[in-house]
Structure 1
Amino acid sequence: MSHEEVLTELRALRERVTGVTETAVASVDGLLVTADTDGARPEVLAALSAATLGLGKRTGHEVGIGELREVVIRCAGGYVVVYAVRKGGLLVVLADEGLDVARLHVDSRPTVERLGLLLDGVPTD
């Protein structure tokens, strides 16, 4: 896996979706892979996102509604969205109040797939 390729994916998502301000990729155990952040502390963001993903997965399993895709948190100043990337990774997106959540979900799906390939060491030509 090339960290530069992962960073390229993060930057492309940030450029495509209005309102996205920061992004990061981490493992499900909270270890940072790489980040495109300006204000957030990437290691803290990775750890908290892993905990968020874990709670979301457990909740979805408990209520029997299938495999987790994403967790959306809406705050007074914006959004935190955590996407599952295959079994071992996650993508976290921070966004301002201008985020079009539906657009993010559509644009993030191919990004999540490519990130999964990159994390697994598969070329994404």
Structure 2
Amino acid sequence: MSDEGLIQELKDLRERVLGVSDTIVATADGLLVASDSYEIHAESVAALAAAMLGLARRTTGEVGVGGLREVVTRAQSGHLIVYAIGEQALLAVRGDEGLDLDGLHVQSRSSVERLADLMSVDLDA
């Protein structure tokens, strides 16, 4: 796994989508893998995002709506979106109020695939 490749992919996502301010990759159990973050404590967000992802997976399984893609949290002054990278990892994206959420969803698909390749994560798991 190339940390430089992961960080570059995070930077590229931030540059491609208006309003993205911070991005991190973490394991599904909350360990920070890579970060392009300046305004948040990446290790804490990694742990909290993993908890969000776990709860959302459990909930979607319970209600029978299929495999989890992402968790979107909208707050007063921004967003936190957590994307599943297979069963083993996650991508967390923090955006401001002006976040292009539709653009992020489009761009995140290819970012998740590239991150999975860099981490050797099976997206079909």
When the two structures are superposed, what TM-score results if normalisation uses the length of structure 2?
0.95
| 2:13 alignment counterpart | 13
How far does residue 93 in structure 1 lie from its aligned partner after superposition? 0.1
Residue 79 (1) aligns with residue 75 (2): no
How far does residue 7 in structure 1 lie from its aligned partner after superposition? 0.2
Residue 46 of structure 1 aligns with an amino acid whose one-letter code is A
How far does residue 39 in structure 1 lie from its aligned partner after superposition? 1.3
| 2:3 alignment counterpart | 3
Query: What residue ranges of structure 2 are gaps of 5+ in the alignment?
Result: none
Deviation string, structure 1 residues 22-80 (Cα, Å, up to 9, x no partner): 00000000000010111100100100000000011011000000000000000001000
Question: Whole-Å Cα distance in 1 between the matches of residues 111 and 29 of structure 2?
Answer: 21
Aligned residues: 122
| 2:37 alignment counterpart | 37
| 1:69 alignment counterpart | 69
- Residue 30 of structure 1 aligns to a residue in which SS? coil
Question: Whole-Å Cα distance in 1 between the matches of residues 44 and 24 of structure 2?
Answer: 11
What is the identity percentage for the equivalent residue pairs of Structure 1 and Structure 2? 53
When the two structures are superposed, what TM-score results if normalisation uses the length of structure 1?
0.95
- Residue 35 of structure 1 aligns to a residue in which SS? strand
User: Which ranges of 4 or more aligned residues in structure 1 deviate by more than 4 Å?
Assistant: none
Question: Whole-Å Cα distance in 1 between the matches of residues 48 and 59 of structure 2?
Answer: 17
